[in-house]
Amino acid sequence: MRGPRASLSGAPARAAPSTPRARLARAAWIALALAGCATPDPGPNRDRVVLHATEVTPLLGEVELRCAADTGKRVRLGGRVHVVELWATWCQPCVRALPLWSARAHADGIAVLAVSIDDEAEAPLAFARKHGVDLPILWDPFAAEIARAVPLGGVVPTTLVVDCQGRVRHVHEGFRGSDSIEAIVTQVRALEQEPSCTAEAAPSSATCPR
């Protein structure tokens, strides 16, 4: 699903980590972002559906994600369906989407993880406090860790729908308001009915200190 989006080319300048790995990750994400912005929009409803076969479905459950408030703590997905929202504080569609996702997660019992791709961890935490976003805030600068497991199109926000086995089943690019959220919630409910999920969803183990 593609709607209003942003790319790293529009991000404000910040001091990025200076390690070679970080510089390579940043360069790769910028290249993907520019490519994503250059791709013609195929229509108002675009959902890149990942193939369902286990051998070809990206396993995000094998990736350890860092908590923004405690970067020494890492979490893994699995056990229930998760919505993983890749976002950044400089991305205006992301800033609109995140409070809506927070409200929907609590209203409907959906496990939503907000994974910031900002180059430092404090900015997303400050944003969450300011806007009352009550979601686990994780931190993956320039999406370097997630991109190891999941092909990304360089668009922010990007929303991943991950099944109970940690497999990425749907990838949504951009944000179109409540229509985007409704489409994703429908996919979450469908995945919850699959045999790999228990009859009653387990609590998400992907929790982070605020």
Instruction: Give every residue of the chain whose pLDDT is below 70, as ranges.
Output: 1-57, 198-206, 210
pLDDT of residue 58: 76
pLDDT of residue 201: 53
User: What residue ranges define each of the domains in the chain, with the CATH number in brackets?
Assistant: 8-192 (3.40.30.10)
CA 129 from chain centre, in angstroms, equals 19
Q: Is the pTM of this model over 0.85?
A: no
Instruction: Tell me which amino acid residue 176 is.
Output: R
Closest residue by Cα to residue 185 from 159, 203, 167: 159
Residues comprising the chain, all counted? 210
pLDDT of residue 9: 35
